[in-house]
Amino acid sequence: MLQIKDALVSLDLAEEFFCCDLDSCLGECCIEGDAGAPITETEYEELKNLVEVVEPYLLPAAKERIAEAGVGYVDEEGDLVTQIVDGRNCVFTTYGPGGKCLCAIEKAYREGKCSMRKPISCYLYPLRLTEYPTFTAVNYHRWKICKCARVAGRAKGIRLYEFMREPLIERFGQEWYDELAEACQAYLSEYGDGGSKC
């Protein structure tokens, strides 16, 4: 583990290669799983206010679900998450050419219609944060559907911490990220890739 200020960061961020390959995976991480995306109370309120903005991009079933039950719910583990439809799609899922899964919130953000890019848990994926009383744990969630991202990352020589630069800066700040990058580079200089495998 690397300690960066008040966070403990998995060595996977330095050792693993990663670069999302949306053309290969089609955004499957947005639709697979048994619950919606984790959201904070603040994000829940923001999402409620964004419904009218993103509504034109939403699936008909998603519009119905939001009208019936709102944008989020507390799952079986007690976490606040986005609603899902059809047992898999986040209500903010939309689809592009070739069945590519896209985020309606991010689509609106890129078109300048809102200031929220997407929930931070989505922006940070495949990283998962666990908040403890005195520190935050930053871990890599290895999932088979991201194998193409690991292959692409290795081919391009992009480490996980490098690929996640922007979301990590948004969550922790530039100074924190700079310290992380320096620590990862020092670790790799001493230990190499740590046996990272695709």
Do residues 26 and 99 lie in contact, with contact meaning Cβ atoms separated by under 8 Å? yes
Peptide bond into 126 cis (omega under 30): yes
pLDDT of amino acid 196: 47
User: Residue 43: CB partners within 8 Å, gap ≥ 6?
Assistant: 116, 119, 120
DSSP, collapsed to helix, strand or coil, labels residue 42 as helix
pLDDT of amino acid 33: 64
pLDDT of amino acid 143: 82
Using alpha carbons only, how large is the chain's radius of gyration in Å? 18
Do residues 14 and 184 lie in contact, with contact meaning Cβ atoms separated by under 8 Å? yes
pLDDT of amino acid 155: 95
DSSP conformational letter for 35: S
pLDDT of amino acid 185: 96
Do residues 57 and 117 lie in contact, with contact meaning Cβ atoms separated by under 8 Å? no
The pTM of the full predicted model, rounded to 2 decimals, is 0.85
The closest of 119, 171, 197 to 4, measured between CA atoms, is 171
pLDDT of amino acid 34: 66
Measured CA to CA, the distance from residue 7 to residue 172 in angstroms comes to: 9
The closest of 148, 145, 160 to 30, measured between CA atoms, is 145
Measured CA to CA, the distance from residue 124 to residue 161 in angstroms comes to: 11
Q: Quick one: how far is CA 27 from the chain centroid?
A: 11
Which residue shows structure tokens 């969550």?
A: 171
Do residues 85 and 62 lie in contact, with contact meaning Cβ atoms separated by under 8 Å? yes
Which residue shows structure tokens 């495998």?
A: 197
pLDDT of amino acid 128: 93
Per-residue pLDDT in tens (0 to 9) along the chain, 198 residues: 999 999 999 999 999 999 988 777 777 777 766 678 899 999 999 999 999 999 999 999 999 999 999 999 998 888 899 999 887 788 999 888 777 788 999 999 999 999 999 999 999 999 999 999 999 999 999 888 888 889 999 999 999 999 999 999 999 999 999 999 999 999 999 887 554 444
Q: Quick one: how far is CA 182 from the chain centroid?
A: 23
pLDDT of amino acid 28: 76
